[in-house]
Amino acid sequence: MNEDSIGTYYILDLDRTLLDTEKAANVLRDVVARHNPQLAAALAQNVEDYSLHDKSFSMRDFILGQIGEPETAEIEAAFMVAAARQDLLNAGARELMAFIASLEDARFGILTYGSASGQSMKIRAAGLDRVASLVTSIAFKGEQMSAWRGEDGRYHLPEVLGGFTANTIVLIDDKSFSFQGLADDCRGYWVQQPRDAGRESAVPHVVPARGLIEVIDLEMALLSN
C-alpha cells in the first residue's frame, strides 16, 4: 500500500473538544490583566457578549485591534509561558490521540473554525503544534470534508493535514452543526456539552458522546466487530 494511502483519517476539533477553551481563555485573561487592566476588562466584556450568542470570538484579534501587533506579540509570548505551566487539554484528549496513533491504518489532524492567528495561538499554547492542523472559515465541516472526495470515491486530504488519501473520515466535534453535509460513508462523534445532554444528532450517522473517553470506547467497539 502507498504510504500516503490509509484506511481512516480522524478529524479532531480544537475548541471544547481537544482544548479546554475556557481554561485557556482564563489564562490569557490573567496575562492581559497583568499587562493592561483596562484591556482585560474590555476583553472580558466582549467574551461574555459573544458567548451569549454562541459565536466564535478571537481573543487575539480583539487584542490586536486594541493595542497593535508589537504589544500583542508581547502578550502572546507571556501567554505561552503561562500556558506551559498548565494542562490545557480536555480529559481524554491525549488518550484519544494515542489511541488513533496506535491504529495501523489511521492518521489524525486538527480542523478548527475561526481566526487563523487566534486558533494557531491556541494550538501552540496547548502543545499541539506538532499535530497537522488546518484553520477553516467554513462552519459546516461535514460539507468541507465531503468536498475532499475524489472521483475515485476516496478522500484526498489537504497537504497541511498530511496529504493522505483515505477510505473514510471520522469527524469528532462539539458543535452539532459542524456535521452538516457529512457523507454517509464517514463517521461522526458529537462530543456533547452539558447543555446538549439528551439531544439527538440531526445527522443519522453521527453518534452523541459524553466525552472523549466514550469516543474511544465507541470506536474500539466498532473496530473490534
Q: Kindly state the DSSP code that residue 84 receives in the 8-state scheme.
A: T
pLDDT tens per residue across span 20-48: 999 999 999 999 999 999 999 999 888 77
pLDDT tens per residue across span 166-209: 999 999 999 999 999 999 999 999 999 888 887 888 888 999 99
Q: Kindly state the DSSP code that residue 199 receives in the 8-state scheme.
A: P
Query: Are 147 and 140 spatial neighbours (Cβ–Cβ below 8 Å)?
Result: no
Q: Kindly state the DSSP code that residue 58 receives in the 8-state scheme.
A: -
Q: Kindly state the DSSP code that residue 176 receives in the 8-state scheme.
A: G
pLDDT-derived band of residue 64, with 50, 70 and 90 as boundaries?
very high
This prediction's pTM: 0.94
Task: Report pLDDT for 194.
Answer: 85
Tell me the C-alpha distance between 172 and 175, whole Å. 9
Q: Count of H helices and E strands in the chain?
A: 8, 7
Helix (H, G, I), strand (E, B) or coil at 209: strand
Domain boundaries, the chain: 5-19+88-224, 21-83
Tell me the C-alpha distance between 7 and 219, whole Å. 14
CATH topology of domain 5-19+88-224: Rossmann fold (3.40.50)
